[in-house]
Amino acid sequence: MPFSCLVRPIHAVAALSLLFAQVAGAQVAAGDSASLTATTQNLLDAITHGDSAVWAAHLAPEWFLSDEEGQHITRQEFLADLHPLPPGQEGKLIVANTHFVGAPGVVVMSYDAQEEHHYYGQLLRTTFHLTDTYVRRDGRWLQIAEQATALPRPVDGRPLAPALLAEYAGTYALTPDIRMTLAVRDSTLTMGRAGRDPQPLYALDDRLFIRHGVRGFWVFERNATGAVVDLVNWRDNNAVVWHRQP
């Protein structure tokens, strides 16, 4: 299900940044926050239904967006591409966790959009975090900017054999001075570094692990003899290699 993020041209963003620096923390009227929350829910409903008219009524002419995939899309392109979900798909998006900050004639709204997407018999759950910017024009609020991020969803993981977890336990080094320790605790692995609380790892399969609330994943690598030699942290498709220590 598509999402949009819009940002203003660079000179306008700079002007808004200066304005917010001068009036940081300004309050948003309760009526405006309630109205914008209701508007946002209507916009999310319109994504599922493919109703471009609802979006067009609330978008400023200069609106453009960058979605959770980093695509830059104009207002015209977004409205033209907004269609109902195809047969075999259903979904809904719910507004949650709203926060507001304002300045004269400007409101920034930050919130979560919790998605349930029934995708050809499979249920996908995703939380998007969005930040929308509105300006007051001719007595009404128009959206000029939206920023969206897809948040990693926590999963329980799968149980692994204690013997396999024991193979992974040990010390791994990023540099001679930066090390972390993996330990078996309560039938799972924990990852800890000096001065930090150990964090659990959750297994997706025999080699692939994730941490909750953190992008990317961890993969254990073996050498030709089958011994565990590296732990690779894939971060936004970049490999950060931790070498196992003797």
- pLDDT tens, 82-115? 999 999 999 999 999 999 999 999 999 999 999 9
- Count of residues for the chain? 246
Instruction: Check whether 8 has a pLDDT greater than 60.
Output: no
Share of the chain above pLDDT 90, in %: 76
Q: Which domains does the chain have, with CATH numbers?
A: 10-151 (3.10.450.50), 162-244 (2.40.128.50)
pLDDT tens, 132-143? 999 999 999 999
Q: Beta-carbon neighbour count of residue 218 at 10 Å?
A: 25
Average pLDDT score, the chain: 88
Q: What pLDDT band is residue 70 in, cutting at 50, 70 and 90?
A: confident
pTM of this prediction? 0.76
Q: How far is CA 222 from the centre of its chain?
A: 32
Q: What is the structure's pLDDT at 26?
A: 63
CA-closest candidate to residue 23, choices 103, 142, 128, 117: 103
Q: Given a cut of 60, is residue 2 above it in pLDDT?
A: no
